[in-house]
Structure 1
Amino acid sequence: MTDTDVQPQRTNRRGDASRENMLEAALKALATGDPGAVSANRIAKQIGATWGVVKYQFGDADGLWAAVLHRTAEHRADLFVPSDTAVPLRQRVAAIIDTLYDGLTATDSRAIENLRAALPRDPAELERLYPRTSAELQSWGRGWLETCQNAFADLNVDTERVRAVATFIPGAMRGITSERQLGSYYDLDLARRGLTDAIVAYLESSASSGPGDRSASGT
């Protein structure tokens, strides 16, 4: 085998490493909460790259932000899918609440909050200026709904109520997380239990009578 034969593989490896480094740098920079971190040029400079490298790897800033969003979605793959079908409804809901309570202060979540704050609020404007990022955010929404559906798929609960729960949980947990970060005078453990109880009661009340009720409630 000649040097010419192996060169493409080395180039690909370098390209992959550069892409990975830039995505990790983007996540760390965005996670600082600094609005100025939402800059592809600034992120490139942090790892000693040029704008040309960004364009080569991602096309443009829109491609970089879309790739960052996709990376965080990969980190969340298969969350909340019970390995044991005997896990009761309450335990599954509590697992979602607890995971979000911890996860919303993690690097990925802080990065995405900062990125979203810098993007246009109007969906049409976002789609016009950042079509790939907009598409990835929409994919996030679909993925989160699918995650929640998978978490309760084997239980006798109404799918529309699962959709409603999937819609309001992120906002509710951001509120509780905000209280945590600000130094709340409220008992946030009690808040989480109260939210868990409310969701369980809402989902249990949708279950039709029959053997599925006992499985869903865990009683």
Structure 2
Amino acid sequence: MTEVAEPTGVPARRTNRRGQATRENMLEAALRSLASGDPGSVSANRIAKDIGATWGAVQYQFGDADGFWAAVLHRTAQRRAETFATVDESAPLRARVAGIVDTLYHGLAEPDSRAIENLRAALPRDPAELERLYPHTAAELYSWGQSWLETCRNAFTGLDIDPERVREVATLIPGAMRGLVSERQLGSYADLDVARRGLTNALVAYLQSPD
């Protein structure tokens, strides 16, 4: 028997290899379904049916829908962390900022990102309501934010940059990049390469500014 890593706030469950494979299949099926963009895909019961499982099987693996969505978020967070795992400490600031911007620009169009956007759109917007109805999912989303901040801190390691400015930039970048990705998906007369270059230049200037 092996210990399985669980998302934030979800009690660890001991499972065998077959149970782990079932769990993995359910999570991948959930991501495929959510990535379709169909609002009806945000249903743990429907996803279970799509892969020929019962709701009881989902409950056994994840406890409830809250545990299921938390596990889905945790899966994508692990993959995202791998994307930003390597930092070239010899690279100048501009190259590091451009790397983050470009990685997100391409990554936010990937199936994992589309899946999470669809899931988030179906969850309560108000943090207090989200925490009341989906406490494990809310904890995982909060953990995402903390992990992203740490990713940005690591990305600028070795550079003399105000930590508060790193925090501000880390908070800004995801929303800014979603805007550019939305423009790309909807179609735009704007040159988005120019937009990315402009965003990179603005972030570098702010991080370097002595004031």
Same fold (TM over 0.5): yes
Count of residue correspondences: 197
- Contact 2:35–2:114, Cα closer than 8 Å, also in 1: yes
Inter-partner Cα distance in structure 2 for 1:69 and 1:84: 27
Distance 1:13 1:78, change over 3 A: closer
Distance 1:73 1:88, change over 3 A: same
Pair 1:121-2:128 in alignment: no
- Contact 2:123–2:130, Cα closer than 8 Å, also in 1: yes
Instruction: Give the unaligned 5+ runs of structure 2.
Output: 1-14
Within 5 Å, give how 1:98-113 maps onto structure 2.
Answer: 98-113=102-117
Matched with 1:140 is: 144
- Quick one: which of 18, 22, 31 aligns to 1:18? 22
- The alignment's C-alpha RMSD in Å is 1.3
Inter-partner Cα distance in structure 2 for 1:169 and 1:89: 15
How much has 1:12 moved relative to structure 2? 1.2
Structure 1: 4+ residue segments shifted above 2 A: 78-84
Pair 1:173-2:160 in alignment: no
Report the secondary structure of 2:16's partner residue: helix
Matched with 1:211 is: none
Pair 1:40-2:41 in alignment: no
TM-score for the superposition, normalised by structure 1:
0.87
Inter-partner Cα distance in structure 2 for 1:80 and 1:65: 23
- Contact 1:161–1:206, Cα closer than 8 Å, also in 2: no
Within 5 Å, give how 1:1-219 maps onto structure 2.
Answer: 12-206=16-210
Inter-partner Cα distance in structure 2 for 1:139 and 1:60: 20
1:116-136 per-position Cα deviation (integer Å, ceiling 9, x unaligned): 000000000000000000000
How much has 1:82 moved relative to structure 2? 4.8
How much has 1:79 moved relative to structure 2? 3.9
- State, as a whole percentage, how many aligned pairs show the same letter: 75
Inter-partner Cα distance in structure 2 for 1:126 and 1:144: 20
Deviates more, 1:75-84 or 1:88-97: 75-84
TM-score for the superposition, normalised by structure 2:
0.91
- Contact 1:65–1:133, Cα closer than 8 Å, also in 2: yes
